[in-house]
Amino acid sequence: MHGAGYADILIEAKLVTSASLKCVLSGKNWALAIWCLRTITEAAERLLVEVLIEEEGIEIDTLALFNLIEQMNREHLDAALNDEPTKAVIQAYLNFQDKVKKGHLGKTGVLWMSFLDNNHVLLMLLFAVKTNNVPLFHKCNSEMADLFFAYDGQNYARYLAWFDVFLTNLELSHPGGWDLLSKGAIAVARSLISGALAAVDKTMEETFMKFAKMFDTYTCFCRTASTRGQFFEQLLEMCGMSSNPDSSSGGMHRELEKAEITKSEAAVQRVMKAFTSCFMNPWCVPDKTRLYNIASGAPVTREVEVDVLRADALGKEMKDRFIKERLQSRELL
């Protein structure tokens, strides 16, 4: 998306500065990169919903949705998901997305719909880790392999393809392994907040491994009871498990705090304004037969157009071919 106007949107909406742009695009500044993807995704989907409402006359006035917006909790979420008018709106939106993927809003819409789908895979992978959802974790890793094959990330592509095959055949190679994974093997709890688990490898690196970097520190940790006690006290405090359980910060996700909601909403509004006022709305283009750079408003060349729009399908084809020729046939890489 570098040449499609994504970077220009980030700068115009003031999500990043010119100094941090490169680190965000490369993923080195991981937290900010994820926040930018979430913000751009929400803004683009809101604009898509506006097009849906305009074209098909969908009315979104369900009480369950407004209750969920006012107070986000499990009770209101379950009520919204079981509300028939809400389910009808969601189904209409999903059907409209399928139409966009087939070219209903033009080739620019196809590209940005692919961008949103890829963002959803990444965000759902994070969700799978935070909730220890192993089937979803498997599915997202499998779909991410298509991206790496399509965009020349060969090391990650080969590993994820192997990982997909390994998890698919786990019960055959390691009977009972799937049950062990489902009991909490991919993530651990570092706080009392539900749905906020941390990846196992990340947790190990941030806690135990730092004591193995220096021999003196490791020796002191093993021999001194007070040092071990201090370590675990700091660990519990860092995780928020030694704080007052009655406080609001003890059981709430940071994203649900009012200050974070206000900050996020302001960022989304800036992105929507950048799409509609400064650049081009990807869902409303002058010529549906051309692929546009939304920053410059100019159509790309036919060669670039063909190459970009076939990337997702080509990545899946390459992954399937790799699995068949290199993993199933057991040939050398």
Q: Which of 10-14, 26-30, 156-160 has the lowest average pLDDT?
A: 26-30
What 3 state SS string does the chain have?
CHHHCHHHHHHHCCCCCCCCHHHHHHCCCHHHHHHHHHHHHHHHHHHHHHHHHHHHCCCCCCHHHHHHHHCCCHHHHHHHHCCHHHHHHHHHHHHHHHHHHCCCCCHHHHHHHHHHHHHHHHHHHHHHHHHCCHHHHHHHHHHHHHHHHHCCCHHHHHHHHHHHHHHHCHHHHCCCHHHHHHCCCCEECCCCCCCCCEEHHHHHHHCCHHHHCCHHHHHHHHHCHHHHHHHHHHHHHHHCCCCCCCCHHHCCCHHHCHHHHHHHHHHHHHHHHHHHHHCCCCCCCCCCCCCECCCCCCECCHHHHHHHHCHHHHHHHHHHHHHHHHHHCCCCC
**Per-residue pLDDT, 93:** 92
Would you say residue 278 has pLDDT above 80?
Answer: yes
Whole-number percent of the chain with pLDDT over 70: 82
Of these ranges, 67-76, 162-171, 203-212, the one predicted with the greatest mean pLDDT is: 162-171
Q: Which of 137-146, 192-201, 205-214, 220-229 has the lowest average pLDDT?
A: 205-214
pLDDT interval class at 120 (50, 70, 90): very high
**Per-residue pLDDT, 208:** 61
**Per-residue pLDDT, 221:** 57
What is the mean predicted confidence (pLDDT) over 307-319? 88
**Per-residue pLDDT, 248:** 42
